[in-house]
């Protein structure tokens, strides 16, 4: 069957756009073909810096005929509706329509539309120009004289030629003829810009790939990556070094070259005094080069690998020399930044007030930078204050959280005060991706406690579902404080995530809190800590009204040992904020922030557990009505895990089925008798009078299992609670097998419904089984 070969040849396409552009080209063309009834066997798209290519195999010569029935109005419908139907269906008159009868709806018109199959080559000639003109580049441009006209073609970079051929392997392929803004399709392409710039005539995909290879172009990006990686490892091995692999950089470099040639450069050993991460950042960001590691020391070596786009006549000596010159200049800048950051600031006398406010030691360089950050008044958010104010809040919250996570409160507070201190440093100003890491380096240089140093770097973590979670208690305390302050702050000013929009990464922050708590097995009463964080923000942002709010904040201080009572006091506190205050305009909503955030955490927890393979409905069951510890995330995960294991057993499956049956019966009967009609305990006398062993067996089993389950839940022994419920299974099965619930005797019916209500209540001591699917 015939194949299609399409190539769009242009100036250099940015590396970051190439892979998605290739995927978009494949999807747009194949979707359009399928819409026309032209199915295919396989399609693959390719990208190099100067071309997008698409090969579609196994296309038919002509599409299948299409027969469509379009339903029209009923017979006797007003003429306007009939004329609209005829126009839409392409009919000249009702004589061309068919009348069909329906016993319920009556007679109506049907238009049978038959379209002959279109020749594939004609369809391609229509599809490809439309795809080119509407291609979804993130950024595009117009060029040449035609660019003065607003309707001229837009492309990521100037488009030079279009290659488009179609035909079977056994035949001479045909050029698919079309024109896009003066560019006429053909069967020629061009090779490497320097090695083979001339035109190359192409027939089909096989000789297209081979011809490009001869013209020093590797079409497949994944193959270019393999070449670069293999050559880089070989060169590194030859020097007794290890390549520091970087998948993101490898992907980018593969998009910068059509004929990769890996070369090795060097820089002076004196630059190795710079932190290795800074060396890697500058060489990676500015020169797109890989760094090497000495396996004997584990530290970086004074070598780097670059990827050229040509085979130089001098073996690449001039290319290496040019890159070495630029790398040397960049590392000289980095060395200067590093030396400057380790020294004293020239304006120390202006930082004393900030240092006193934050409890900083101006004899230490990193403390000086934190004081400078505060004095400059760098704004975190217009409604949430400066970075200095935020650091004060985080430090106080970290101090309070420290005993909960097993950290030293003073170390946690110290780490929090220095956590953002590297933001005004020269090194982080040049390489923002090093924030936290450079703070750790500078803290180590000034002799901070190892846990403090670790927390400065790790408090940003985890940055995603696969990122490492800090385990040092000080790091955990500061990371939690940082994220809780962020969440409650943006919630208070009504900057919540909406749909796909989450500009402040609040979902990521919530997931970070969950992972910190769960993976470090921290028992945290979340709502109370959120309330404390909210009070700290309100206190800071209402300073001008402190006299009016003094009594309210004094009450908060009296309740400091009972965060749950602070939550209850929040509405009173917010009502005390004067009406002219412009930050917290929706005061009642602000007071609800901690409660709303707990629900937000529950939603994030469901997502996390679902991604881990757990059932999110079990979270709903554990958080059902009357559930205790709904803000204790570790407790929730333990209960969910125990419930999941229980429901995988035969006892669990059978009890769930019995519960569902009991709940359905109660739901139906409560509609008749009213909500709560069957509350209270079943009458044992009536059960004895009925004389059914199975009914008595369920009553006895409930009397024994219910207190056991409740006691186990209170002791947080969830496996024990599930075991207590498992004891109910035989009695429940026997009851439904032998006992008629809706007995003709009203007294017996009501008593048995009370017994089922007791069963429902017993299971709710552990989880709300009604929320479990299945």
Confidence check: pLDDT of 223 > 90: yes
pLDDT digits (tens, 9 = 90+) for 11-55: 999 999 999 999 999 999 999 999 888 999 999 999 999 999 999
Q: Indicate if the pLDDT at residue 774 is higher than 70.
A: no
* pLDDT band for position 440 (cuts 50, 70, 90): very high
- Return the bridge partners of 53, or none: 7, 46
CA distance 355 to 378: 16
Q: What mean pLDDT is predicted for residues 331-350?
A: 94
CB atoms within 10 A of CB 112: 13
The predicted-structure confidence for 469-497, as pLDDT tens digits, reads as follows 999 999 999 999 999 999 999 999 989 99
Compute the half-sphere exposure of residue 414: CA atoms within 13 Å on the CB side of its CA.
18
Nearest CA-CA partner of 334 in 287, 289, 272: 272
Range from 255-259, 410-414, 503-507, 555-559 carrying the lowest mean pLDDT: 555-559
Q: Across the strands, what pairs with 55?
A: 5, 44
Whole-number Å distance between alpha carbons of 166 and 250:
34
Mean of all residue pLDDT scores within the chain? 90
| Cα separation, 301 vs 293, whole angstroms | 5
Q: What is the pLDDT of residue 626?
A: 47
695 Cβ contact partners less than 8 Å away, ≥ 6 residues apart: 687, 735, 739, 752, 755
More confident residue, 72 or 219: 219
SS3 label, residue 201: strand
DSSP-derived letter for residue 343 is S
Confidence of residue 364 (pLDDT cuts 50, 70, 90): very high
Nearest residue to 8 (alpha-carbon basis) of 160, 207, 110: 160
Residue 462: cis peptide before it, omega within 30 degrees of 0: yes
What percent of the chain clears pLDDT 90, i.e. is strictly above it? Answer: 59
> Which of 386-395, 515-524, 613-622, 735-744 is least confident?
613-622
220 or 620: which carries more pLDDT confidence? 220
Separation of alpha carbons 129 and 33, rounded Å: 13
Residue 639 exposure: Cα atoms within 13 Å on the Cβ side: 32
Q: How far is CA 152 from CA 127, 149, 178, 572, 635, in A?
A: 18, 6, 16, 63, 62
**Greater confidence, 295 or 742?**
295
């Amino acid at each position: 069957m015939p194949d299609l070969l399409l190539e769009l040849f242009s100036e250099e396409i940015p590396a970051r756009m190439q892979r998605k552009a290739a995927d978009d080209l494949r999807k747009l063309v194949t979707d359009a073909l399928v819409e026309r009834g032209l199915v295919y066997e396989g399609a693959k798209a390719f990208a190099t810096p100067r071309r997008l290519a698409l090969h579609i195999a196994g296309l038919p010569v002509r599409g299948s005929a299409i027969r469509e029935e379009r339903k029209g109005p009923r017979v006797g419908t007003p003429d306007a509706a009939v004329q609209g139907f005829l126009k839409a269906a392409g009919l000249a008159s009702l004589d061309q329509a068919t009348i069909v009868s329906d016993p319920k709806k009556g007679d109506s018109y049907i238009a049978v539309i038959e379209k002959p199959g279109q020749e594939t080559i004609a369809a391609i000639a229509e599809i490809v120009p439309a795809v080119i003109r509407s291609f979804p580049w993130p950024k595009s441009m117009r060029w040449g004289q035609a660019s003065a006209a607003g309707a001229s073609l837009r492309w990521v970079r100037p488009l030079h030629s279009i290659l488009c051929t179609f035909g079977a392997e056994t035949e001479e392929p045909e050029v698919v003829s079309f024109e896009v803004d003066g560019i006429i399709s053909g069967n020629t392409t061009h090779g490497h810009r320097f090695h083979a710039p001339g035109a190359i005539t192409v027939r089909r995909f096989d000789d297209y790939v081979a011809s490009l290879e001869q013209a020093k172009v590797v079409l497949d990006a994944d193959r270019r990556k393999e070449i670069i990686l293999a050559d880089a490892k070989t060169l590194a091995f030859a020097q007794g070094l290890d390549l520091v692999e970087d998948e993101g950089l490898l992907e980018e470099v593969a998009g910068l070259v059509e004929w990769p040639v890996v070369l090795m450069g060097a820089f002076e050993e004196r630059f190795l005094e710079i932190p290795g991460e800074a060396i890697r950042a500058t060489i990676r960001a500015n020169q797109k080069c890989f760094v090497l590691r000495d396996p004997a020391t584990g530290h970086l070596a004074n070598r780097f690998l670059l990827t050229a786009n040509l085979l130089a006549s001098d073996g690449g000596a001039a290319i290496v020399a040019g890159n070495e010159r630029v790398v040397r200049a960049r590392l000289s800048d980095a060395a200067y930044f590093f030396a400057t950051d380790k020294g004293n600031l020239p304006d120390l006398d202006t930082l004393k007030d900030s240092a006193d406010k934050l409890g900083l030691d101006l004899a230490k360089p990193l403390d000086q930078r934190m004081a400078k950050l505060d004095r400059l008044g760098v704004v975190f958010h217009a409604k949430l204050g400066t970075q200095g104010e935020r650091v004060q809040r985080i430090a106080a919250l970290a101090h309070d959280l420290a005993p909960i996570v097993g950290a030293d409160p003073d170390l946690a507070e110290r780490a929090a005060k220095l956590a953002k201190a590297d933001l005004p440093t020269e090194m982080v100003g040049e390489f923002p991706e090093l924030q936290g890491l450079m703070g750790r380096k500078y803290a180590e240089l000034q002799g901070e406690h190892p846990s403090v140093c670790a927390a400065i770097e790790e408090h940003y973590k985890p940055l995603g579902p696969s990122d490492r979670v800090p385990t040092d208690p000080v790091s955990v305390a500061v990371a939690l404080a940082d994220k809780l302050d962020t969440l409650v702050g943006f919630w208070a000013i009504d900057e919540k995530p909406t749909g796909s929009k989450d500009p402040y990464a609040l979902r990521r922050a919530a997931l970070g809190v969950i992972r910190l708590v769960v993976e470090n097995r921290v028992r945290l009463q979340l709502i109370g800590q959120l309330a404390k964080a909210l009070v700290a923000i309100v206190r800071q942002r209402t300073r001008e009204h402190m006299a009016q709010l003094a009594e309210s904040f004094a009450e908060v201080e009296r309740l400091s040992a009972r965060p749950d009572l602070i939550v209850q006091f929040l509405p009173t506190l917010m009502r005390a904020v004067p009406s002219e205050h412009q930050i917290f305009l929706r005061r009642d909503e602000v007071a609800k922030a901690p409660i709303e955030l707990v629900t937000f955490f529950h939603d994030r927890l469901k997502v996390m557990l679902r991604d881990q393979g757990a059932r999110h409905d079990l979270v709903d069951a554990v958080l059902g009505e009357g559930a205790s510890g709904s803000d204790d995330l570790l407790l929730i995960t333990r209960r969910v895990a125990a419930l999941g294991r229980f429901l995988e057993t035969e006892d669990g499956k059978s009890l769930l089925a019995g519960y569902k049956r009991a709940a359905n019966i109660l739901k139906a009967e409560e509609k008749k008798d009213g909500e709560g009609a069957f509350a209270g305990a079943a009458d044992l006398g009536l059960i004895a009078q009925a004389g059914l062993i199975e009914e008595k067996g369920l009553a006895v089993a409930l009397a024994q299992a219910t207190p056991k389950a409740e006691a186990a839940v209170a002791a947080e022994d969830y496996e024990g609670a599930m075991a207590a419920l498992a004891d109910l299974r035989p009695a429940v099965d026997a009851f439904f097998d032998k006992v008629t619930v809706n007995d003709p005797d009203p007294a017996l019916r009501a008593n048995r419904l009370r017994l089922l209500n007791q069963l429902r209540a017993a299971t709710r001591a552990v989880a709300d089984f009604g929320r479990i699917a299945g």
